[in-house]
């Protein structure tokens, strides 16, 4: 199982962490990616498969104090954040001008 953190644009978002199987993770994150945006996820995979996967994932919330790492981040309603993750890899996050966010 892998853990993903979900971040959405809702004012009351609580940034929950969910467990997902390797297959479910693969539907959300292409190989080499650990950042995903929900519109891109649904553009890549069949809606029925994703709906079934998310129905399972939403049942597996993990309390943050019990999480053993976060393997991916899934963004909802935060299109403007795409500019910071052009490679869709967290460690390669960039400023809009192209400089690295982390040194």
What are the φ/ψ torsions at residue 55 (nearest 5 degrees)?
-60, -40
Q: Of 6-10, 72-76, 81-85, 94-98, which gets the smallest average pLDDT?
A: 94-98
What CA–CA distance (Å, rounded) separates 12 from 27?
27
What CA–CA distance (Å, rounded) separates 3 from 22?
10
For the chain, give every domain's residue range: 2-92
Q: What is the DSSP letter of 102?
A: -
What CA–CA distance (Å, rounded) separates 34 from 17?
14
pLDDT at 71: 98
pTM above 0.85, yes or no: yes
Residue pair 61/16 in contact (Cβ under 8 Å)? The answer is yes
Give per-residue pLDDT as tens, 17-33. Answer: 999 999 999 999 999 99
Give per-residue pLDDT as tens, 30-66. Answer: 999 999 999 999 999 999 999 999 999 999 999 999 9
């Amino acid at each position: 199982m892998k853990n993903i953190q979900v971040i959405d644009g809702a004012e009351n978002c609580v940034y929950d962490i969910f467990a997902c199987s390797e297959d479910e993770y693969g539907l959300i994150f292409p190989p080499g990616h650990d950042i995903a945006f929900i519109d891109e996820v649904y553009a890549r995979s069949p809606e029925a498969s994703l709906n079934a996967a998310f129905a399972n994932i939403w049942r597996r919330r993990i309390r943050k104090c019990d999480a053993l790492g976060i393997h991916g981040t899934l963004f909802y309603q935060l299109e403007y954040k795409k500019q910071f993750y052009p490679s869709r890899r967290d460690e390669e996050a960039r400023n809009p001008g192209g400089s690295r966010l982390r040194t």
